[in-house]
Amino acid sequence: MARRTKIYEGKAKILYEGPEPGTLVQYFKDDATAFNAAKKDVIEGKGVLNNRLSEFFMTGLNELGVPTHFIRRINMREQLIRAVEIIPLEVVVRNIAAGSISKRLGIEEGTALPRPIVEFYYKDDKLGDPLVSEEHILAFGWASHQDLDDMVSLALRVNDFLSGVMMGVGIRLVDFKIEIGRVFEGDFQRLIVADEISPDSCRLWDIKSGEKLDKDVFRRDLGNLTDAYAEVARRLGVMPTNA
Ligand code: C5P
């Protein structure tokens, strides 16, 4: 069998050349990292769950007309995606204070925010992905005014969709991160949701018990990570065993 060309390897995923021009294969690893890879482990089954969960969320968004890179799932650990030019920003939406906003601004974890807050972090592992302002983004040319408007609008639409879906299964969407990429269609560029949407990149709290069902289970040593992700998958009817 011919060896595939690896395009990029990140902390939790690998991108391979796709079967057609403009496509890539995204492979989900079992590796878990936190605190900019200062904490690492291999969590058996995590990649399979995230592949299925990201498929579920991205398919739902595509159906709603929120464009994403997702084309189709190939197998347990791989999905076919559109190749995009990733904008070097992590876009975070917060509904409830937790994690870095609580630390930075001294807001108690669990405090509802007055409205969803969109933040941008510059993607740079060496710098630890620092929070940046729209001024930085425009001045350093990472995105245009139009891109910023489009990114905020995409992020808020993803927030509406994800919050609603999670609420339906008794889970509060506290916050999440997405990455956004450019695709070029003739003379036009369009921004679409890329990377993954999974419990690795969201904070998900059980509405009744407050139990954490996301990567904080790993970051804070709260129990078994795959059990938490499998619970999210079970409630959403996403069964990784039928791959
Ligand atoms: O750490 P912080 O509170 O800023 O994280 C906000 C949200 O973004 C969390 O859901 C976290 O899982 C996600 N995130 C991520 N990748 C990062 C940083 C944060 O998925 N590099």
Print pLDDT tens along the chain (243 aa): 567 899 999 999 999 999 999 999 999 999 999 999 999 999 999 999 999 999 999 999 999 999 999 999 999 999 999 999 999 999 999 999 999 999 999 999 999 999 999 999 999 999 999 999 999 999 999 999 999 999 999 999 999 999 999 999 999 999 999 999 999 999 999 999 999 999 999 999 999 999 999 999 999 999 999 999 999 999 999 976 544
Q: Where are the alpha helices (DSSP H) in the chain?
A: 46-64, 99-105, 134-139, 145-168, 216-219, 225-236
pTM beyond 0.80: the answer is yes
Instruction: State which of 109, 117, 201 you would mutate to test the pocket of ligand 1, scoring each by most atoms of that ligand within 8 A of its C-beta.
Output: 201
- Other Cβ atoms less than 10 A from the Cβ of 32: the count is 21
Write out the residue limits of the CATH 3.30.200.20 domain(s) in the chain: 6-82
212 touches ligand 1 (CB under 6 Å): no
On whether the 6-82 domain is CATH 2.40.160.100, my answer is no
The CATH class of the 85-224 domain is alpha beta
Write out the residue limits of the CATH 3.30.470.20 domain(s) in the chain: 85-224
